[in-house]
């Protein structure tokens, strides 16, 4: 069967968009140096106490502090770190911090139940899990305590690691919350560890990260079997942003209001990394809410 219609006469362009060799972490550094005072991230949820405005310099500073905290906790280049949360600010900071230190961000669907998160923790060789306490009627805390009942007996999660035969790689669980829970680190404790790592040590680690290193592992929906982890390099993420924004004629003066979940490529790439590539302002929704999105459009 021959090719019909317009495709029969299609020819590839002689010159496409030239690709670039850059890591995700270096991309953020570049923007922080070029446009330090430009607004980078805005969360506008006064009704729930979440109001945040960061310019690119502040954004980079927050990310660097988190990156140093992760290093102090022993996160090595190539380690797999999972995030199970809605579109909270910490999700974005983790995406960038892990990229800077060469760890792999493993993305977890917010709708996962206990058996699904256990599968990803095991199959994805996860060494550290960052999570919120739950979403809608899905208690992440109940799921984790059912999978890892022994972590309730950990009295000092900073010094004691999780030991579980089913999940041999998992060492720590971090709760993104102001509350503390048995056996879990708090996000603020991770940040506090940053004082143990110097700026020079962070720069030295970041210099070891190649554009061709894996930056993220994104799981498929699993419609034809168990979900599969797709490994994506820094080069792929940066150049998808480069090509899409160039071809789409997107501009750095745009304000990107995004309701896409960060566990989806349209969120963690199409919202977060596209915005950094462009040097524009990202305004995320914590979760999809059409009325809230219209309100943000008006503002």
d(CA 123, CA 125): 6
Give the bridge partners for 53, in sequence order: 42
d(CA 80, CA 92): 16
Q: Are 211 and 238 in contact (CB under 8 A)?
A: yes
Tokens representing 259 are 């309701």
Token look-up 């009295």 returns 155
d(CA 181, CA 163): 18
Q: What is the mean pLDDT of the chain?
A: 92
pTM: 0.91
Look at residue 87 and tell me whether its pLDDT is greater than 80: yes
Task: State residue 97's pLDDT score.
Answer: 99
Out of 135-139, 225-229, 273-277, which region has the weakest mean confidence (pLDDT)?
225-229
Backbone angles phi, psi at 85, to 5 degrees: -165, 160
For 50, 53, 261, the CA distances from 45, given in Å and listed in that order, are 5, 11, 17
Angle between helix 89-101 and 56-72 (nearest 10): 70
For 19, 44, 250, the CA distances from 54, given in Å and listed in that order, are 29, 12, 21
Quick: pLDDT tens for 150-193. 999 999 999 999 999 999 999 999 999 988 899 999 999 999 99
Angle between helix 89-101 and 199-207 (nearest 10): 70
Sheet holding 126-131, edge to edge: 185-186, 172-175, 126-131, 80-84, 104-107, 214-219, 229-233
Task: State residue 211's pLDDT score.
Answer: 98
Look at residue 222 and tell me whether its pLDDT is greater than 80: no
Task: State residue 227's pLDDT score.
Answer: 86
Task: State residue 133's pLDDT score.
Answer: 96
d(CA 188, CA 153): 21
Backbone angles phi, psi at 184, to 5 degrees: -115, 140
- Our measurement of the distance from residue 177's CA atom to the centroid of its chain's CA atoms, rounded to an integer in Å, reads 17
Quick: pLDDT tens for 13-59. 666 788 999 999 999 999 999 999 999 999 988 778 889 999 999 99
| Start-to-end Cα distance in the chain | 53
For the chain, which domains are there? 20-298 (3.40.50.12780)
Tokens representing 178 are 């102001």
Quick: pLDDT tens for 106-120. 999 999 999 999 999
Closest CA to 167 of 186, 187, 144, 183: 144
d(CA 182, CA 154): 7
Look at residue 1 and tell me whether its pLDDT is greater than 50: no
pLDDT tier for residue 10 given thresholds of 50, 70 and 90 = low
């Amino acid at each position: 069967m021959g090719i019909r219609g317009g495709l029969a006469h299609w020819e590839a362009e002689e010159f496409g968009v030239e690709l670039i060799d850059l890591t995700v972490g270096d991309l953020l550094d570049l923007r922080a140096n070029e446009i330090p005072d430009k607004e980078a991230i805005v969360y506008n949820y006064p009704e729930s106490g979440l109001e945040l405005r960061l310019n690119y310099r502040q954004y980079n500073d927050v990310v660097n502090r988190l990156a140093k905290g992760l290093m102090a906790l022993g996160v090595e280049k190539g380690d797999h770190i999972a995030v199970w949360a809605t579109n909270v600010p910490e999700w974005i900071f983790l995406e960038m911090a892990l990229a800077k230190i060469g760890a792999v961000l493993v993305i977890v669907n917010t709708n996962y139940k206990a058996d699904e998160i256990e599968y990803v923790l095991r199959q994805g060789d996860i060494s550290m899990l960052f999570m919120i306490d739950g979403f809608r009627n899905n208690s992440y805390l109940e799921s984790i305590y059912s999978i890892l009942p022994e972590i309730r007996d950990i009295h000092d999660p900073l010094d004691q690691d999780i030991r579980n035969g089913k999940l041999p790689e998992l060492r720590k669980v971090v709760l993104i919350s102001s509350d503390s829970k048995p056996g879990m680190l708090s996000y603020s404790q991770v940040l506090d560890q940053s004082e143990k790592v110097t700026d020079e040590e962070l720069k030295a680690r970041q210099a070891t990260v190649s554009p061709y290193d894996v930056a993220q592992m994104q799981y498929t929906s699993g419609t034809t079997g168990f979900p599969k982890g797709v490994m994506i390099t820094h080069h792929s993420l940066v150049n998808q942003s480069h090509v899409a924004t160039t071809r789409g004629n997107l501009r750095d003066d745009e304000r990107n209001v995004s309701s896409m979940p960060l566990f989806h490529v349209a969120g963690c790439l199409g919202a977060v990394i596209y915005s950094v590539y462009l040097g524009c302002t990202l305004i995320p929704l914590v979760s999809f809410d059409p009325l809230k999105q219209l309100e943000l459009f008006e503002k």
